[in-house]
Amino acid sequence: MTAIAELAARVRHVLVRTSHPGNIGSAARAIRTMGFERLELVAPARFPDREASALAAGADDVLARAGVHAELVDGLAGCNLALGLSARRRGITLPELSPREAAAQVLAAASRGEQVALVFGNERSGLENEELARCHAMVRIPSVDDFSSLNLSQAVQVMAYELRVAMLEETPAAAPPAAEELPADAAQMERFYEHLAQTLDDIEFHKGRAPTTIMLRLRKLFQRAQMDERELRVLHGILADAQRMADLARGKGKPM
Ligand code: SAH
């Protein structure tokens, strides 16, 4: 299994008291596209169902393996972290997270080997207070106040997408970057700034002005660029050529 698949396998999506089997199918498809496979259904109104299979659009493996439970506690079995998705803040005081903040927490927990659940409520009534009380935090997708409720499977999609992005950003690519593609370190940057300062002198850039301010400005510019070693070499090459041309212009050097 790849690193991402291993993390994703620790995340389950739990749908509570789903009324429309079509939403179960759409949710299965939504999580499958983002690399997740584990769906737990708590007291679904109808399941299995043809409508669920139709809307899964090929994510039948997710539906086939979906667990069906009578109670939320059973769907959460073995979980170390449960996050409840809710359009509205309920009477209950849980920390509220954005999908992005939630994704970071899920990823951190899964990286420690913990099992994580994302819990979604019924289409009409959402998650009950007792259901949210089994969660460690609430996640609210920042929709508009006067029309805040997303379709269930679309809420699943948004959250699964955020998780996928977080995992892609966090998980190192299969091969570590080649050494020369590493960002230049402080000592290499210092050598570059010395070369740059010397070159600016050689080409008589300063014209009597103090070099301090311009050097600080140039440092800021190049720090922002976060150059790798290869890019730094190209710049050293350009500076060396400029120095050579300056020597030539002064009649000191010889043409290459
Ligand atoms: N009126 C219900 C809406 C239910 S929509 C409510 O206030 O919660 C079905 C499920 O989709 C919700 O229980 C929730 O899990 C998820 N969902 C819909 N819109 C959401 C939003 N803006 N933020 C977080 N979850 C949302």
As a whole number, mean pLDDT of residues 96-103 equals: 98
Distance CA 42, CA 188 (A): 58
Q: What would the two tokens of residue 130 be? A: 């007792």
Q: Is the CB of 141 under 6 A from ligand 1?
A: yes
Q: Is the CB of 98 under 6 A from ligand 1?
A: no
As a whole number, mean pLDDT of residues 174-191 equals: 76
Q: Is the CB of 88 under 6 A from ligand 1?
A: yes
Q: Is the CB of 152 under 6 A from ligand 1?
A: yes
| The overall pTM is greater than 0.85 | no
Give the H/E segment covering residue 112.
none
What digits encode the pLDDT tens for the residues 57-73?
A: 999 999 999 999 999 99
Judged against a pLDDT cut of 70, whether residue 132 lies above it is answered with yes
Centroid of ligand 1 to alpha carbon of 43 (angstroms):
17
Task: Show Cβ contacts of residue 182 under 8 Å, excluding neighbours closer than 6 positions.
Answer: 228, 229
Centroid of ligand 1 to alpha carbon of 195 (angstroms):
58
Judged against a pLDDT cut of 80, whether residue 204 lies above it is answered with yes
Q: Which of 150, 157, 158, 163 to mutate to test ligand 1, by most ligand atoms within 8 A of the CB atom?
A: 150
Question: Which whole-number Å values give the CA distances from 110 to 6, 26, 61, 152, 249, in the listed order?
Answer: 9, 25, 23, 24, 63
Centroid of ligand 1 to alpha carbon of 27 (angstroms):
13
